[in-house]
Chains A and B, each alone.
Chain A
Amino acid sequence: MEGLPILSLMMLVPLAGALACLFAGANAARWIALGATLVTFALGIVLWSNYEIGGAQWQFTEKADLFAGFSYALGIDGIALLLIMLSVFLMPVCILASWDSIEKRVGEYMAAFLFMEVLMIGTFAAQDLFLFYVFFEAGLIPMYLIIGVWGGDNRIYASYKFFLYTLLGSVLMLIAMFWMVAEAGTSDIPTLMQYDFPAEAQTWLWLAFFASFAVKVPMWPLHTWLPDAHVQAPTAGSVILAGVLLKLGGYGFIRFSLPMFPEASAQFAWLVFVLSMVAVVYTSLVALVQADMKKLIAYSSVAHMAIVTVGLFAFNVQGLEGAMIIMLSHGLVSGALFLCVGVIYDRLHTREIARYGGLAINMPYYALFFLLFTMASIGLPGTSGFVGEFLALAGIYQTSSLVALISTTGIILGAAYMLYLYRRVAFGGQVNEDAAAMSDITAREWVMMAPIAAAVMWMGVYPESFLAPMRADIAVLDARLAAAAPASDAQLAPGTPRAEAANAVTHDSAAEEGAH
């Protein structure tokens, strides 16, 4: 493995695939895209199996100086590794999900997906601030095109909204980056993560980065682009949007905001908490009244991602690790839920919940998968959703019991809107004839869903596989944050222990003991 630039290779394969797709016919493009994403996934497995847990913080590093201090520098820690794995795992699924449903400009469509894969891997692997920025922002372009070209009826409005929101934040972030590089004299991310920026500068830098990341997460009230983008995007677009693009915001917080501006992060934690608490309650209630399946799941994403931000700003190991696990879990689960919507959308061409009903009768295996992902979404123990939520909420409880209490109401509201959705889709009688005539999932759809289901269970039962790679990196971050961490609001104060048990009774009455 020594010397093999595997990260570059993982970007090169989809890049080559993308170029090939542009010039290939529809069917050839499908196979090329599938092949390229599978090879990339295989390289991802090689990457993971060669990642040395407990080894150097940054592994697989590559560096080539370009101009003016700007360098092509790649390298990953455990956090980036896991997010890269998530991306390359979901990509072949997306290609399969688009297999029959995309009929126009197939070559360009596949190329857009492969380009996006390149950019996503690049974003997570970049070790140079500007390189990161380029990947981070360029990732919007293929997504913009996927929504704008292959989207639904109202795709122009949706892509406009998507672009407007995400771009606005980015401009501020770029300005902040220039300032940082001027101040620290380097654009090397690992160095910057150790650099102590002056406290007052941190405030402005934090806000500039926040503007960009909060949109990506998305945090309330910057979330309204998400439901529209999801509704208009093709199924695979939604999968990637929910699965990976939303994670860029969380990744940004964990890679930039927290380690680079720890004091400002502590200073603004209340802001994050307030927005997140509002998001949990507000977007959950909005999800409850949606009549469009994709909108419902989109709103649920906002609520789930709010637990991520709460966990990140809990300033402790459980909060950070929990947030990471939720990101991975949500990537799988919400991606799978969008696939579930896609499966029936492909058959009936509507996302309106009321048009379905009783699908458990004619599509039992579909109903089973849908149930599994629904349960994972509402955090049933044994699925990935629980581990993440549990850790993140346990983390925030140590910082603030109020924030924990309000955030935890998400488990009630989440159950309400997801089960209400499931009931209307899968339970009840078969009211619509065309819905009743739909066939159960095909072999292709099995291949899409079964691996995600397996991953969800794996992460729920034995999350150690996912916790171990990032443990050391989270510990480093936690140590970096320790000085700035806010005090626990619990203020546990010892007292004199009570001498006896609450129900202690005196022995006298025992004298006149009778036989029962």
Chain B
Amino acid sequence: MHPILIIVFGPLLAALVAGLGNRMIGNVAAKSVTTGALFLSAGLSWPIFLGFLGGTQSAEVVEVLKWVESGTLSFDWSLRVDTLTAIMLVVINSVSALVHLYSWGYMEEDPDQPRFFAYLSLFTFAMLMLVTADNLVQMFFGWEGVGLASYLLIGFWFKKPSAGAAAIKAFVVNRVGDLGFMLGIFGTYLVFQTTSIAEILAAAPAMSGSTITFVGMRLYTMDILCILLFIGAMGKSAQLGLHTWLPDAMEGPTPVSALIHAATMVTAGVFMLCRLSPMFETAPTALTIVTIVGAATCFFAATIGTTQWDIKRVIAYSTCSQLGYMFFAAGVGAYGAAMFHLFTHAFFKALLFLGAGSVIHAMHHEQDMRFYGGLRKHIPLTFYAMLAGTLAITGLGVYHLGVGFAGFWSKDAILEVAFARGTQVSTTAFWLGVGAALLTSFYSWRLLFLTFWGKPRWIESEHIQHAVHKTPEEAGEDTTGGYHPHESPVSMLIPLGVLTIGAVAAGQVFAPKFLDEAAFWAGSIFYNEPLIHAMHAVPYWVKYSAFVVMLLGFMGAYVAYIAKPDIPAKFVAAFGPLHNFVFRKWYFDELYDAIFVKPAFWLGRKFWQLGDIGTIDRFGPNGIAWVVDRSATAAKSIQSGYVYTYALIMLLGLVAAVTYVLL
């Protein structure tokens, strides 16, 4: 049996056992089965990845089962393993295994643990189906499957109304993207008569000059196909316009945020673009749009990140922003850099989320950073892990020394390549990226300073008040209220430790392969060698720009949250409208509510009351009933019982009939 079959279907089997067995098999059995399956999958994935790294492994496709054959439209269940898949395999399975382990501690007191672990494993299965897809439809299966798991996990604490609402929002907003994805698949089939990715990629260049009509518009075939597919990617990867679900998705338990809404699922859009990169390279307009959307998202999300108080929301917007980097990297043709950032981001972002989870765990479910402070003495291990994550995401590293944390290698590469690409759009993306890097450094350090430095402020938190049964007044001078946060259990610390290693070293170790070696990719993505050469040749000021803004962001956060903590309040007072605009997330939710949600319900009521009941029924069945009723009344008056009345009517009828026949 091919190991990929165990890697992919093991988690599914475990999910079924844990989910259906549930209370019958108990917590420990359910958790062991799922966690065991994931460690097995992770253990089997690394040799495959290392095989590709060493050049000993080559791409292959494992057929599983026929799926659909309808006329010339046919596709199968099959598992493709190549370099691109192998990278995703290690990312998904490693993070998933660690998150499973972490959840032993984090979900310790939850009454529904088997269900939680079953969902986590189900998610992993769907994600694996997505990245091993050999045709677009199976990719869509995985795509929707992770959507389902995300829905279930966001709504895991379904008793909370906000969780239920966030779950629906995530699913429905993603469906908007899926509309584009589906139309993209239909169009691709129409043009290429296949859904096999390999065949599409081979045939795409020949189609690059052709045109097609889509909804009355005459467009370049490849542009419209790629744009439709990209709309799908925008939904799943929470890009500007379809991003509104991601921050709300933080309603889910924190391990879910780490696995699904940071490390893996949300990167599916980037993966899709890289998988289809030879196709996108035939569509210049589509790529321009990708670059613009990516760069805009990267900056936009970072601005919001600077104002949020909820620790998870800051990281969520950060994720959104980092995905923007990956997209504009792909847009300018640096798919290797996009995948590399996906790879490093998975480690440091999972680390940041799990670290945040550890903080929340220690702080009795309080998520508001205003009620943290001074935690580095209480939970030092979590602090060091978060510090490593912050250094990684802000991209600490020195070009001339050739050393740096993970984000230094991948993010700087993206900025350099955008500059090197040299078009107007890519240069704009570069500047937006630099601006976002400044903001990233600011909000990341702000998070760290608010949480781990300063004086404890947690007696103001209702969660803590519940724990210690004290009001702030009763606590008096002691702003801890006598509450002492404790470091998390070992099951949570081990994943933090492992991910810390990734956040520190993943960039240093893998940069040469991911960025510079066409042979490593072995044709699994479009590898633009001249562009990579140009990337290395950018001026020094470009290479140091990210470093400089990172220092500026750090200093800004230091001044505002440590040296002169009254600055933020003064800033808000001085720039109230601007702050509000950013704090309220650029009013996207309000806008969508006003132009989509409310009108949909309003229209539904109008169609129902005025359409169905007021018009169709009124003039249809009820109208006929009315006519029949009236006719019966009229007929009653005719049925007078007098023979001459009947005779007259008969005569009239006869005359009418004869007249009709004769004419």
Q: Is chain B found bound to chain A in the same assembly? A: yes
Bound form: Cα–Cα A420–B190 in Å: 34
Q: Does A408 contact B (CB under 8 A)?
A: yes
Instruction: Select the stretch in A13-21, A75-83, A129-137, A281-289 that faces chain B.
Output: A281-289
Q: A375-B148, A464-B68, A505-B534 are in contact. Are A416 and B212 (CB under 8 A)?
A: no
Instruction: Select the stretch in B180-188, B365-373, B489-497, B549-557 that faces chain A.
Output: B180-188
Q: Which of B182, B190, B421, B607 contacts A503 (CB 8 A)?
A: B421
Interface string of A473-516 (1 = CB under 8 A from B): 00000100000000011111111111001111111011111111
Min C-beta distance of A365 to chain B, whole Å: 9
Q: Which of B186, B281, B534 contacts A397 (CB 8 A)?
A: B186
Q: A398-B190, A404-B186, A405-B183 are in contact. Are A492 and B616 (CB under 8 A)?
A: no
B589-616, CB < 8 A from A = 600-601, 603-605, 607-608, 611-612, 616
Q: A467-B70, A509-B534 are in contact. Are A289 and B605 (CB under 8 A)?
A: yes
Question: Which partner residue on chain B sits nearest A498 by CB separation?
Answer: B208
Q: A289-B608, A496-B209 are in contact. Are A412 and B526 (CB under 8 A)?
A: no
Number of interface residues of A (CB under 8 A): 87
Inside 8 A of A402's CB, which chain B residues have their CB? 215-216
Check A412–B176 contact: CB distance below 8 A. Answer: yes
Q: Does A224 contact B (CB under 8 A)?
A: yes
Check B191–A502 contact: CB distance below 8 A. Answer: no
Inside 8 A of B163's CB, which chain A residues have their CB? 427
Check B168–A502 contact: CB distance below 8 A. Answer: no
Check A401–B213 contact: CB distance below 8 A. Answer: yes
Inside 8 A of A288's CB, which chain B residues have their CB? 600-601, 604
Bound form: Cα–Cα A380–B151 in Å: 12
Bound form: Cα–Cα A336–B335 in Å: 46
Bound form: Cα–Cα A496–B206 in Å: 8
Most chain-A CB neighbours within 10 Å: which of B164, B178, B287? B164
Check B537–A510 contact: CB distance below 8 A. Answer: yes
Bound form: Cα–Cα A360–B148 in Å: 17
Bound form: Cα–Cα A504–B526 in Å: 11
Q: Does A23 contact B (CB under 8 A)?
A: no
Check B215–A405 contact: CB distance below 8 A. Answer: yes
Check B608–A321 contact: CB distance below 8 A. Answer: no
Min C-beta distance of A314 to chain B, whole Å: 11
Interface string of B530-574 (1 = CB under 8 A from A): 110111110000000000000000000000000000000000000
Min C-beta distance of A448 to chain B, whole Å: 18
Q: A402-B215, A408-B182 are in contact. Are A514 and B537 (CB under 8 A)?
A: yes
Q: Which of A463, A489, A511 contacts B68 (CB 8 A)?
A: A463
Interface string of B411-425 (1 = CB under 8 A from A): 001000000111000
Inside 8 A of A461's CB, which chain B residues have their CB? 65, 67, 77
Interface string of B383-426 (1 = CB under 8 A from A): 00000000000000001001000000000010000001110000
Secondary structure call for the B interface: helix
Q: Does A423 contact B (CB under 8 A)?
A: yes
Most chain-B CB neighbours within 10 Å: which of A165, A498, A516? A516
A292-340, CB < 8 A from B = 316-318, 321-322
Check B205–A497 contact: CB distance below 8 A. Answer: yes
Q: A364-B22, A405-B183 are in contact. Are A285 and B603 (CB under 8 A)?
A: yes
Interface string of A370-412 (1 = CB under 8 A from B): 0000010000111000110011011001100110110011011
Check A415–B283 contact: CB distance below 8 A. Answer: no
Bound form: Cα–Cα A494–B210 in Å: 4
Check A401–B608 contact: CB distance below 8 A. Answer: no
Check B209–A498 contact: CB distance below 8 A. Answer: yes
Q: Does B588 contact A (CB under 8 A)?
A: no
Check A285–B604 contact: CB distance below 8 A. Answer: yes
Inside 8 A of B191's CB, which chain A residues have their CB? 492
Q: Does B159 contact A (CB under 8 A)?
A: yes
Q: Does A88 contact B (CB under 8 A)?
A: no
Bound form: Cα–Cα A227–B613 in Å: 11
Check B533–A516 contact: CB distance below 8 A. Answer: no
Q: Which of B189, B215, B280, B603 contacts A394 (CB 8 A)?
A: B189
Check B68–A428 contact: CB distance below 8 A. Answer: no
Check A289–B209 contact: CB distance below 8 A. Answer: no
Bound form: Cα–Cα A397–B224 in Å: 14
Bound form: Cα–Cα A408–B536 in Å: 45
Q: Does B620 contact A (CB under 8 A)?
A: yes
Inside 8 A of B515's CB, which chain A residues have their CB? 516
Check B210–A495 contact: CB distance below 8 A. Answer: yes
Interface string of A161-195 (1 = CB under 8 A from B): 10011000000000000000000000000000000
Q: A381-B144, A401-B215, A412-B179 are in contact. Are A165 and B621 (CB under 8 A)?
A: yes
Inside 8 A of B67's CB, which chain A residues have their CB? 461-464
Inside 8 A of A426's CB, which chain B residues have their CB? 158
Inside 8 A of A413's CB, which chain B residues have their CB? 600
Check A224–B182 contact: CB distance below 8 A. Answer: no
Q: Does A419 contact B (CB under 8 A)?
A: yes
Inside 8 A of B533's CB, which chain A residues have their CB? 507, 509-510, 513
Question: Which partner residue on chain A sits nearest B538 by CB separation?
Answer: A514
Q: Does B583 contact A (CB under 8 A)?
A: no
Q: Which of B158, B205, B209, B213 contacts A428 (CB 8 A)?
A: B158
Bound form: Cα–Cα A290–B604 in Å: 9
Q: Which of B70, B209, B210 contacts A391 (CB 8 A)?
A: B70
Bound form: Cα–Cα A316–B190 in Å: 12
Question: Which partner residue on chain B sits nearest A423 by CB separation?
Answer: B164
Question: Which partner residue on chain A sits nearest B163 by CB separation?
Answer: A427
Question: Which partner residue on chain B sits nearest A161 by CB separation?
Answer: B621
Min C-beta distance of A414 to chain B, whole Å: 8
Q: Does B161 contact A (CB under 8 A)?
A: yes
Bound form: Cα–Cα A224–B212 in Å: 39
Min C-beta distance of B62 to chain A, whole Å: 17
Q: Does A341 contact B (CB under 8 A)?
A: no
Inside 8 A of A161's CB, which chain B residues have their CB? 621
Q: Does A96 contact B (CB under 8 A)?
A: no
Q: Does A358 contact B (CB under 8 A)?
A: yes
Check A503–B528 contact: CB distance below 8 A. Answer: yes
Q: A401-B214, A509-B533 are in contact. Are A409 and B70 (CB under 8 A)?
A: no
Most chain-B CB neighbours within 10 Å: which of A290, A404, A506? A404
Q: Does B71 contact A (CB under 8 A)?
A: yes
Inside 8 A of B616's CB, which chain A residues have their CB? 221, 224
Q: Which of B70, B176, B179, B422 contacts A322 (CB 8 A)?
A: B70
Q: A286-B608, A491-B212, A492-B191 are in contact. Are A360 and B158 (CB under 8 A)?
A: yes
Bound form: Cα–Cα A143–B601 in Å: 33
Q: A397-B187, A498-B209, A501-B526 are in contact. Are A411 and B332 (CB under 8 A)?
A: no
Q: Does B305 contact A (CB under 8 A)?
A: no
Q: Does B140 contact A (CB under 8 A)?
A: yes
Q: Does A124 contact B (CB under 8 A)?
A: no
Question: Which partner residue on chain A sits nearest B332 by CB separation?
Answer: A503
Q: A462-B66, A509-B537 are in contact. Are A419 and B528 (CB under 8 A)?
A: no
Inside 8 A of A225's CB, which chain B residues have their CB? 621
Interface string of B104-145 (1 = CB under 8 A from A): 000000000000000000000000000000000100110011
Q: Which 8 A-B pairs have the closest CB atoms?
A: A503-B333, A495-B209, A317-B71, A510-B533, A397-B186, A285-B604, A501-B281, A381-B141
Given contacts A391-B68, A463-B67, list 8 more A-B pairs with CB under 8 A.
A282-B611, A321-B71, A401-B213, A419-B171, A423-B167, A497-B207, A503-B281, A510-B534
Q: Contact residues of A with B, CB < 8 Å?
A: 160-161, 164-165, 221, 224-225, 227, 282, 285-290, 316-318, 321-322, 358, 360-361, 364, 375, 380-382, 386-387, 390-391, 393-394, 397-398, 401-402, 404-405, 408-409, 411-413, 415-416, 419-420, 423, 426-429, 461-464, 467, 471, 478, 488-498, 501-507, 509-516
Sample (29) of A-B pairs whose CB atoms are under 8 Å apart: A221-B611, A224-B616, A224-B617, A282-B607, A287-B604, A288-B601, A289-B601, A318-B71, A358-B159, A380-B144, A386-B144, A401-B187, A411-B178, A412-B178, A419-B168, A428-B161, A461-B65, A464-B68, A467-B70, A491-B212, A494-B207, A494-B210, A498-B205, A501-B282, A501-B526, A503-B421, A507-B530, A509-B534, A511-B537
